[in-house]
Chain A
Amino acid sequence: MTAVTGSPPSPGGWRRGLAKLRRRPIASSGFVGVVLIYLFAPLIVMVAFSFNSSPRLSFPFSGLSLRWYEEIFTDTLVLRAFRRSVQAAVVTAGITGVLGLLAALGILKIAKRARGFILAISAAPLAVPGLLFSIGLAIMYRQIGFERSIWAATLGHALIALPFVFLVVGASLERFRFTLLEAARDLGASRWHAFRTITLPLILPAVMGAMLLAAAISIDDFVIAFFTAGQDKTLPLIMYGRVLKGIDPTLNAIGTVMLLLTTSLAFMAARRTTIGER
């Protein structure tokens, strides 16, 4: 029934197939196509021009080349910023992973009603505009005498990523069958051993997913770094500096690299937190 050619030669079979084709809502699928193009066009243009051999940002392409990639990968300024961004992402993931897991475990010991309240407040920072948050952070750092640096920025990243990690890990613990721990205890396991051999392996996919999400948030951040990183420019800050001097083809290459990094992190995170749990 699916393909006209594949169906047995029953009388009127192909005619029914044709009718089905005609009934397909062309208008709505066309609309979806337009929206998708609108969403992805900027990215497509950026990726495409990163491979253009001419520095002029206009069609037609004069030829394909990797010269912009070569340029950024030999530019010590870009490389240093890249290293800083990756470092900030790794540290953010580490801090939020540990703190988020501990917080999610700790909240289980709290009475149900108080737990809902705490979950609600911990989600509140997600609603605060990043700009306000960054300004507040910068003022606070100034007050306590914490110099602007990549570490100051990283701590800020950890702060905004922590609620995500806490909520994701919390949700996975919500579904965790704690009676499994009774079974482990019954078989002779201490509390710690039961946690290590049962709880941890079972919620690890969610924790890892949440940590990847935190890393993606860190890499993606511009505002916090802008206010707190000082001279330790991260990749987005470098890009911003270049944009100010006019659009430069190396931007496309840096952008493409970042796109690859953040989308692959987000993709892995999604796999671990949803599909990965089955």
Chain B
Amino acid sequence: MSSVSRETGPPAIRLDRVTKRFGGVLAVDNVSLEIEEGEFFSLLGPSGCGKTTTLRMLAGFETPDEGSVYLRGKDVTLVQPNKRATNMVFQNYELFPHMTVSNNVAYGLKLKKVPKREITRRVDEMLEVVGVGGLGKRAADQLSGGQQQRVALARALINRPAVLLLDEPLSALDVKLRKRMQLELKSIQETLGTTFVYVTHDQEEALLMSDRVGIMNQGVLLQVATPRTIYEQPADDFVADFVGTLNEITIRIENLDAGRGLVTSGDRERIWIDAPGGMSIGQTVRLAVRPEALKITHQDRWDGATDLSYARGTVSDVIYLGPFTQFLIESERLGRVVSQQVSDAGAAAIQPGTQVVVSWRPDAAFMLAGPASEGR
């Protein structure tokens, strides 16, 4: 699936303790990171988290105040953008409006003094690859948003960059086109084998496309991991909350049993936690469970499976989302939680006011650090 495991040669990109300030404001805070050749790497975070600044330091538009940037093992910290083997797809594409599509795409090759005939051949080829073959003679400002996006991609890729940098390239497209372009981008990346560094604030996009994701907040790189790890074992509260919705449950450990904590036991409810060492009876912990990991069962049909954690509650609201349905459940033990289920006949049978049993596999829950936050 991913080509992360390639061991030969230096990483495509290495950031070594990079810091960038803008007028005293810390935009990027001591970030170190390695991105492998051929990897699809996403920098994910809310706006203003420093992801775009990081990308711009890779491109050479910003110079770090501290730390170094290495491209294929070479220190490029102070190298001008036109001398770097990186190319960028800008958020607003930045196609040259006074040129044809072909001339836009050929811009980089002309600078490299590539023979004319070869330029023509490679431009046509690249336009074909990104799916706008035949549009070469169009003026760049006569294209639709999706076409502009593809041309911007072709203009960058044709230079065969060591690393392609993409700054929220799909954010200006409508939802349907965005979904399609996500898959196409991924497939282009796999075909060409180019290292992609992709900046986005859309967690779904990042998880869908990337080999690995780096999550940033307030200039700090919080976690770098595969999408699955990010989602299932988030490094901290911020990551957990940013990547998808989270149910937070605060509970007191009532019993400890061979590395497993048993919060409470009985006919009405039972909550297991995978307790690492150092836990003690009476301690309060915060547990997080994703909405889709919470199953709900009509109270009358509950058969009391032994290996699950479960608690009782009342459905207070049902939100139909097409393929999925979300249930808001008020539970004495869990507080207010959200459960997301496939919209099938079973889900349809559950109405507001229904008494249900909320259950989950203990390993689908993870522990949160720090004190309980309010208002969740």
- Out of B61, B82, B92, name the residue touching A188 (CB < 8 Å): B82
Given contacts A182-B61, A190-B82, A202 and B94 within 8 Å (CB-CB): no
Asked if A188 and B59 sit within 8 Å, CB to CB, the answer is no
Interchain CB contact under 8 A, B90 and A189:
no
| Chain A residues with CB under 8 A of B107 | 184, 187, 189, 197
A55 contacts B by Cβ under 8 Å: no
> Do B159 and A177 have beta carbons less than 8 Å apart?
no
A228-241 to B contact mask, C-beta < 8 Å, 1/0 = 00000000000000
| Inter-subunit contact B112/A188 (CB<8 Å) | yes
Report which of B86, B90, B98, B112 forms a contact with A183, defined as CB distance below 8 A.
B90
Asked whether A188 and B111 contact (CB < 8 A) given A179-B90, A182-B90, A183-B90, the answer is yes
- Determine whether A193 belongs to the interface, using a CB cutoff of 8 Å to chain B: yes
Say whether B97 faces chain A, with CB atoms less than 8 Å apart: yes
A185 pairs with B98, CB closer than 8 A: no
Interface pair B97/A202, CB less than 8 Å apart = yes
Contact A202 B87 (CB under 8 A): no
The interface residues of chain A lying within 8 Å CB-to-CB of B95 are 183
Q: Looking at A179, A183, A189, A190, which has the most chain B CB atoms within 10 Å of its CB?
A: A183
CA distance in complex: A177, B140 (Å)? 15
**B80 at interface by CB-CB < 8 Å:** yes
With both beta carbons as reference points, the residue of chain B lying nearest to A182 in the complex is identified as B61
Are A187's CB and B98's CB within 8 A?
A: no
Cβ proximity bits A27-44 to B, threshold 8 Å, 1 near / 0 not: 000000000000000000
| A201 on interface, CB distance cutoff 8 Å | yes
- B195 to nearest A CB, angstroms? 16
Chain A residue at minimal CB-CB distance from B106: A187
> Which residues A162-201 have CB closer than 8 A to chain B?
177, 179-180, 182-190, 193, 197-198, 201
* Chain A residues whose CB sits within 8 angstroms of the CB of B90 once the complex forms: 179, 182-183
Contact B94 A185 (CB under 8 A): no
Query: Contacting B87 at CB < 8 Å: which of A186, A189, A197?
Result: A186
* Bound CA span A188–B92, Å: 19
A189 → chain B closest CB, angstroms: 6
Please name all residues of chain A whose beta carbon is closer than 8 Å to the beta carbon of B111 when the two chains form the complex: 187-189, 193
- B358 surroundings in chain A (CB, below 8 A): none
For the complex, count residues of B whose C-beta is within 8 A of A.
23
Q: Give the complex CA separation of A184 and B88 in angstroms.
A: 10
Residue in A180, A187, A198 whose CB lies within 8 Å of B108: A187
Q: Is the Cβ of A186 less than 8 Å from the Cβ of B82?
A: yes
Considering only residues 52-109 of chain B, those with a C-beta below 8 Å from chain A are 59-61, 80-82, 86-88, 90, 92, 94-98, 107-108
Question: Are A187 and B94 closer than 8 Å at their CB atoms?
Answer: no
Contact present for B80 and A185 (CB under 8 Å): yes
A255 to chain B, nearest CB (A): 40
Bound together, the chains give a CA A103 to CA B88 distance in angstroms of: 31
Report yes or no: A198 in contact with B96, Cβ–Cβ below 8 A: yes
Q: Are the C-beta atoms of A185 and B92 separated by less than 8 Å?
A: no
Docked pose: A198 CA to B110 CA in angstroms: 14
Q: Does B155 contact A (CB under 8 A)?
A: yes
Q: Say whether A188 contacts B98, CB under 8 Å.
A: no
Chain A residues whose C-beta falls within 8 Å of the C-beta of B88 in the assembled complex:
182-183, 186
Within 8 A of B (CB), among A197-243: 197-198, 201-202
Q: Which residue of B lies closest to A201 (CB)?
A: B98
Expressed in whole angstroms, the minimum distance between the Cβ of A112 and any Cβ of chain B is: 14
- Distance (whole angstroms) from the CB of A196 to the closest CB of chain B: 12
Known contacts A187-B111, A193-B111; decide if A179 and B92 are in contact (CB<8 Å): yes
Interface residues of A in 67-84 (CB under 8 A from B): none
**Are A186 and B96 within 8 A (Cβ)?**
no
Contacts of B82 in A (CB 8 A): 185-190
Chain A residues whose CB sits within 8 angstroms of the CB of B98 once the complex forms: 201-202
For residue B83, give the distance in angstroms from its CB to the closest CB of chain A: 8
Separation of A202 and B156 alpha carbons in the complex (Å): 21
Q: How far is the CB of B122 from chain A (nearest CB, A)?
A: 14
Asked if B159 contacts A179 (CB within 8 A), the reply is no
Q: Distance in Å from the Cβ of A201 to the closest Cβ of chain B? A: 5
**A202→B140 CA distance, assembly (Å):** 13
Which residues of B sit under 8 angstroms from A197, Cβ to Cβ?
Answer: 107
Say how far B142's CB is from chain A's closest CB, in angstroms.
12
Tell me the smallest distance from the CB of B156 to a CB of chain A, in Å.
8
A202 to B88: give the CA distance in the assembly, Å: 22
- A57–B112 CA distance with the chains assembled, in angstroms: 70
Instruction: Return the CB mask of A139-172 against B: 1 if under 8 Å, else 0.
Output: 0000000000000000000000000000000000
In the complex, what residues of B have CB within 8 A of residue A180's CB? Answer: 94, 96-97
Q: Which B residues lie within 8 Å of A190 (CB)? A: 82
Max count, chain B CB within 10 A of own CB: residue among A182, A187, A189, A202 = A187
Cα distance, A177 to B94, chains bound together (Å): 8
Would you call B92 and A186 a contact (CB within 8 A)? Answer: no
Query: What is the interface of chain B, defined by CB distance below 8 A to chain A?
Result: 59-61, 80-82, 86-88, 90, 92, 94-98, 107-108, 111-112, 155-156, 159
List 19 A-B residue pairs with CB atoms under 8 Å apart, sorted by A's residue number: A180-B94, A180-B96, A182-B81, A182-B90, A184-B96, A185-B61, A185-B81, A186-B60, A186-B86, A186-B87, A187-B107, A187-B108, A188-B108, A188-B111, A188-B159, A189-B82, A189-B111, A198-B96, A202-B97
Chain A residues with CB under 8 Å of chain B are 177, 179-180, 182-190, 193, 197-198, 201-202
Additional pairs, 6, CB under 8 Å, beyond known A187-B107, A202-B97: A179-B94, A180-B97, A183-B94, A186-B81, A187-B82, A189-B82
Query: Which 4 A-B residue pairs are closest in the complex by CB-CB distance?
Result: A187-B108, A183-B94, A188-B111, A185-B81
